[in-house]
Amino acid sequence: MKELKEKILKEGKNLGGGILMVNTFLNHQIDSHLMVIVGREIADRFWHYHPTKVLTAEISGIAPAVQAGVFLDAPVVFARRVKSITMPDEIYIRTVPSHTKGGTADLIVAADMISPQDRVLIVDDFLATGKTIEALASIVEEAGAELVGIGAVIEKSFEGGRERLTPLGVPIEALAIVEKMEGDQIVLR
């Protein structure tokens, strides 16, 4: 996606250790217009799988997932990191390593948010190691629903996430793919 790629090359920063900072348009400040075209593009790539629900993880997945949900006319569920007191007792929970915060993070989804009839599209800001998305997919499976696809705004192909997720047997789409980062240079496919 042209606009996204230009934005990454112009404003993205390689912080080292495989971390790409995109704080000016995705991870801290959100470019509203970019999110609309990101959401439309994700919807374009997956509408024919008829997803009934979009699943993402807080925090930075929410904006692109909601925009995809708007164009797919589907509700969006975001896995929470902390079980708030407004959550029911019955939950699905996974623990994944946290890339940018260190340590681990929980992914929590109330059991009544995904039904066995749902066709679930997972949307996240990054596809890196794939461990967060793998955990979300495993929640979809536990809920008895059908996973129909995985959409990421930015893929870092050098972290092997696509290989990790391929056994799930669903289409995986990324709107921009970072092949490598060296010093100030970000190389897109």
Binding residues for a second copy, per CB under 8 A?
A: 15, 19, 21-23, 25, 27-33, 35-36, 54, 58-59, 62-63, 66-67, 69-70, 72-78, 80, 82, 84-87, 100-102, 109-110, 113
Nearer to a second copy, 113 or 170 (CB): 113
> In this complex, which beta carbon is closest to a second copy, that of residue 139 or of residue 165?
139
Q: Which of 158, 139, 143, 153 lies closest to 25 in space, CA to CA?
A: 153
State in angstroms the smallest separation of the CB of 110 from a second copy. 6
Please report how close the Cβ of residue 72 comes to a second copy at its closest, in angstroms. Answer: 8
- CA nearest neighbour of 126 among 95, 157, 104, 164: 157
Taking the CA atoms of residue 9, residue 15, residue 18 and residue 20 in that order, the dihedral angle to the nearest 10 degrees is -40
DSSP 118: -
Q: Which is nearer to a second copy, 76 or 147 (CB)?
A: 76
Nearest to 132 by CA among 30, 58, 68: 58
The 8-class DSSP code of residue 59 comes to: T
Q: Which is nearer to a second copy, 2 or 101 (CB)?
A: 101
- Nearer to a second copy among residue 100 and residue 166 (C-beta): 100
What minimum distance in Å lies between the beta carbon of 101 and a second copy? 5
Closest approach of Cβ 8 to a second copy, in Å?
Answer: 14
Are the beta carbons of 89 and 115 closer than 8 angstroms?
A: no
Alpha-helix residue ranges (DSSP H) falling in 47-99: 62-72
